[in-house]
Chain A
Amino acid sequence: MNNFEPLIAVFSCHYCSYAAADLAGSSRIQYPPNTRIIKVPCTGRISVNHILRALECGADGVYVAGCLEGTCHFVSGNFKAKQRVQSAKSLLGEINIEPERVQMYFMSAAEGSKFANVAKEMTETIKELGPSPLKGTNTQ
């Protein structure tokens, strides 16, 4: 299991966390290459099903990275995302998949180092949990 390299889907908002990822890159901060970033206009766009489908399609973990609480460009998108992440975690609990595979993070556009730390933290967590039990089961 030591050489297991997880695949992690990241839903990043255009205004904050995607800019933070950009900053992490231009500041040459190192972080694990396991994340695959999907840019969304606002994390309020993410529904529970996006998270579930990402897992079903082979991701070992998923996290949503939105603006700091209270600073969403669209006022409350990140709060909506927070609730939906919570729902997704509860649903995963029901079908016996570790809820820790799904997380919600908040960061500002200036926090490139936080983006890198979150990516490291999440990669560590998923490495400990091992591959997703749903991996390779998607037939559609």
Chain B
Amino acid sequence: MSIQDLIEKTKVSFCQDCGVCTGSCPVSRVLPGFSPQQMVAKYVLSSDLGMEDEVLGEQDVWSCLTCALCLQRCPSKVEYLEFVRGVREEAFRAGNKITHAHDGILQTITQMQTSGLPQNRTAWAREAGTIKEEGEYYLFVGCVPYFDVLFKDMGVSPLGSASDMLKILNKFGIEPVVSDEERCCGHDMLWSGNVDLFKELALHNVELIKRLGCKKVIFGCPEGYLTFKEYYPLYCTDMGLDAVHFYDLVYDQIQEGTFQLSPLEQKVTYHDPCRLGRMAGMYDSPREIIASIPGIKFVEMERNREEAVCCGISCWANCSSYSKQIQMDRIKEAEATGADTLITACPKCNIHFSCALSSAEMGLEVKDLTQLMASAMGI
């Protein structure tokens, strides 16, 4: 899609130049010169002058965290995220690539998955609980097995969360299907502009889940959930699959009162991941789950729900001192609430905050909501 079409489609011309986006943007605070409003203005001008090719080579489009805070506050409802996604797609085609963090390991792994290799995804699941070959529910594991290898020295255990999730599901009487043939959901590729690879992954996953006869797909990761719910239908017509977030399932079970939770003496605060909060609109289920654990004291951070700040990095790219500043800012905010544990609902937020905490002396602990749940259930 040309920049001109993109401007029309995403209502960029409705921009009133008010600057609320720049004032809200977590990147603009720490990276002088970056402004969503000016970036949009630049693309509009270049499109008018017929100089699109020149701006497509610039780096600032990759600095955006796609956290959707500007979108939340824009008085003209400019679809800034869709605009950035479209520009990234064009920039990628023009050969302008995003700077990968961790030397591009995770991107290489994603690329390798498209080669049709059967993976080794179910070994942990067979140890952790009961899974089935075919059935109504499909458990989408996502990238956590790779995160586990790369980040376990940081004290995080993404695969531990996945195991806990499976054990909790088993306790609810759900025995999901887990498949070795599953591929990465493609979220990072979608937001890095590599839409062809995204399409390939999306079509493969949908075809696989349908072939296994599943109707509902359970996600523990907000990125997978959002991608499946909002972005897969753009490329896979007639999916016929329901994306269910694990926390919604847990919340339903809490309301029915099907299980007992043991008390935990902790004071906790909760960080809304941008994919789960602003983009998928899920604010209450995680809070209700925390509130249902007896003995736990829950405090909100100053910026919460729609106003929550991003964890500093998206799609494993552009990690820099600016990301660290955003992370430090957020964990200081968490510490200021007096909480001893910062609860996150996203494996990536968990990893990023743990990384920031490892270089800061703070009496704060980062924990995944699923793992908190599991300890309250005595798993």
Contacts and interface: CB of A to CB of B under 8 A. Distances in A.
Interface stretch (A13-21, A60-68, A90-98, A106-114): A90-98
Given A47-B103, A48-B103, A91-B150, A97 B109 contact: no
Given A87-B149, A96-B120, A49 B108 contact: yes
Contacts of A53: 108
Interface stretch (A24-32, A36-44, A117-125, A132-140): A132-140
Interface in B115-147: 115-121, 145-146
Contacts of B105: 47-49, 52, 91
Given A49-B108, A91-B109, A94-B120, A134 B115 contact: yes
A87 B147 CA distance: 11
B117 A94 contact: no
B111 A56 contact: yes
A133 B112 CA distance: 10
Contacts of A137: 112, 114-116
- The bracket for how many chain B residues form the interface is 20 to 34
Contacts of A97: 117
Interface residues of A, number: 19
Contacts of B102: 48-49
B99 interface: no
A91 B114 CA distance: 16
Q: Which of A96, A97, A134 has the most CB of B within 10 A?
A: A96
Contacts of B117: 95-97, 133-134
B96 to A, nearest CB: 15
Given A47-B103, A52-B105, A87-B149, A93 B112 contact: no
B143 to A, nearest CB: 10
B344 to A, nearest CB: 23
A52 B100 CA distance: 15
Interface in A38-85: 47-50, 52-53, 56
Contacts of B118: 96
Contacts of A94: 119-121, 145-146, 149
A95 B181 CA distance: 10
B28 interface: no
Contacts of A56: 108, 111-112
Contacts of B119: 94-96
B50 interface: no
Nearest to A133: B117
A49 B118 CA distance: 21
A49 B149 CA distance: 14
**A52, A56, A95 interface centre (most CB from chain B within 10 Å):** A95
Interface in B142-193: 145-146, 149-150, 180
A63 B111 CA distance: 22
A95 B103 contact: no
Contacts of A48: 102-103, 105, 150
A79 to B, nearest CB: 14
Given A48-B103, A49-B103, A91 B111 contact: no
B113 interface: yes
Contacts of A50: 103
Given A49-B108, A56-B108, A97-B117, A87 B103 contact: no
A53 B107 CA distance: 10
Interface in B250-267: none
Contacts of A96: 117-120, 180
B109 A95 contact: yes
Which of B113, B149, B150, B180 is packed against the most chain A CB atoms within 10 Å? B149
Interface in B59-117: 102-105, 108-109, 111-117
Interface of B: 102-105, 108-109, 111-121, 145-146, 149-150, 180
16 contacts: A47-B103, A47-B105, A48-B102, A48-B105, A50-B103, A56-B112, A91-B109, A91-B146, A93-B120, A94-B145, A95-B109, A96-B120, A134-B117, A137-B112, A137-B114, A137-B115
Given A94-B119, A95-B113, A134-B112, 6 more contacts: A49-B103, A56-B108, A91-B149, A95-B109, A96-B117, A97-B117
Interface of A: 47-50, 52-53, 56, 87, 90-91, 93-97, 133-134, 137, 140
